[in-house]
Structure 1
Amino acid sequence: MSLALNQWTTRRWSVAEAVDGCVRHGLEAVGLWREKVAEQGLAESIKLVREAGLRVSSLCRGGFLTAGGLPGEDGRRAFAQALDENRRAIDEAAELTAACLVMVVGGLPGVKPGEPLPANRFSRDLAGARERVAEALAELAPYAGERGVKLALEPLHPIYCPDRAVLSTLGQALDLSLPYPEEQVGVVVDTFHVWWDPRLFEDIARAGRRIASYQVCDYLHPLPADVLLGRGMMGDGVIDFGPITRAVLAAGYTGDVEVEIFNADIWAADPDEVVATMKARYEDVVLITP
């Protein structure tokens, strides 16, 4: 495995700055975000990555497929819009030759991340929301396969189930992936989201080569008021990385290990210092595999 910088860890960096930073710090891969790629320009982002000799370990993100669970015409229109947006994301991932397109599948229909519940304009049908994800995959997986893109379903910690991801466990994500060839649909193992799961090691072994991305950061305690920013540098929280890394390796994963951190203090710090710390913690904390 090789260390990769997920662009959101050094959020202030543009694509050009992230690529330059990876080269300066001796990293071989970068995980890009669509917002940053759009700001830089897709063609320019491709050029920068290729001229630097970097791999794109992932493109974040596709998904938010559950709005189709709204009733009537609103639901049909939202579902069609989500499919169109995800086809664009797949096309971008193909042009970037990204190892995978990370899919954050969406929360309850009508519930928007970080916003109050809309009065009478959302659905509590959790099972139905998961069905919408399955329906969307049936449309998107063949499209991705034709373009050589692997969709990587990312389960998120249950605290994000209402507004970001109705998939909360690796097992749920894996079950949704199984009807498709492994080169079309895989799963993400993100330590922040799955460290607590009592079935984690069983499901990592079951996933095998469907593991499309291994993302690492720590789970801070106590969480901040904005729980989205509760990710920490490896070693600063409660996660025992060694057993998880061993399990991912034993499952056959040979891809990059992305450090993806959402944390206001880390975003405010000098990005070069963040990357230097990231490298040291990767060696000292993540790769402890006796």
Structure 2
Amino acid sequence: MQGRVLIVAGSDSGGGAGIQADIKACAAMDAYSATAITALTAQDTLGVHGVHPVPLDFIRQQIRLSLRDIGADAVKTGMLGDAPTIEAVCDALAEDGQGIPLVADPVMVAKGGSNLLAPDAVETLRRRLLPMAALLTPNIPEAEVLSGLRITGLEEMRAAAGVMLAMGVPAVLLKGGHLEGERLLDLLATPDGEEVFEGTRIPSRHTHGTGCTLASAIAAGLAQGMVLRDAVARGRGFVQAALRAAPGLGKGHGPLNHGVTVDPARIAALS
């Protein structure tokens, strides 16, 4: 096991997204994960049915204790929920997480359509979290909110990424899965240039937690010393494999198979 990732995000009681998906993704990448939980959610594959925020002092305490004891080689943030939580997380990371690369997944809406970020918190996200991030990983709807631009294709993706780079984040991975068509495009943009990752859409309703999983897999790569481009490429490959191997659970948007990298036969041989 190599690389320590501190995950700051909400819990998904259904296990497909949130902290649960983050931990599974890091384990699949052979990285260690510690957590600071920002909210408890009651959810299943059909949607989010309840949210219980964690007190701000307790969020800060989780971050502080993890970083001062175990430490971290990368930090990943997911669901932060509201402006006070964003402020608390950023304050804690500024105090104890200086110099640690941060992968920020700007979680705003759950797969089932429930809001996971208060509308009045978007400006706080722009002002506090984005300048601290080494990489921002928005999907199309999130990028539209953050950039204020309508995105219908690659050229609009480039324009929106440019707006977000101007906000102080040094790299943006804009995920194109919400666009129509069988050809999928993800855009990795930095001030020095861009790379377009292409793929073919995998027909499946079992896509719950893809954003969380990808961001955490990338964070694991950065924690292991990989350069950003390679961490992104490996993370995308993992998500695609986990999608193809999805177990088909639930009545709605089901989870991925995060255990696609696990080899039970190898484990049995070691026992």
Structure 2 length-normalised TM: 0.43
- The structure with the largest strand share of the pair is 2
- The structure with the largest helix share of the pair is 1
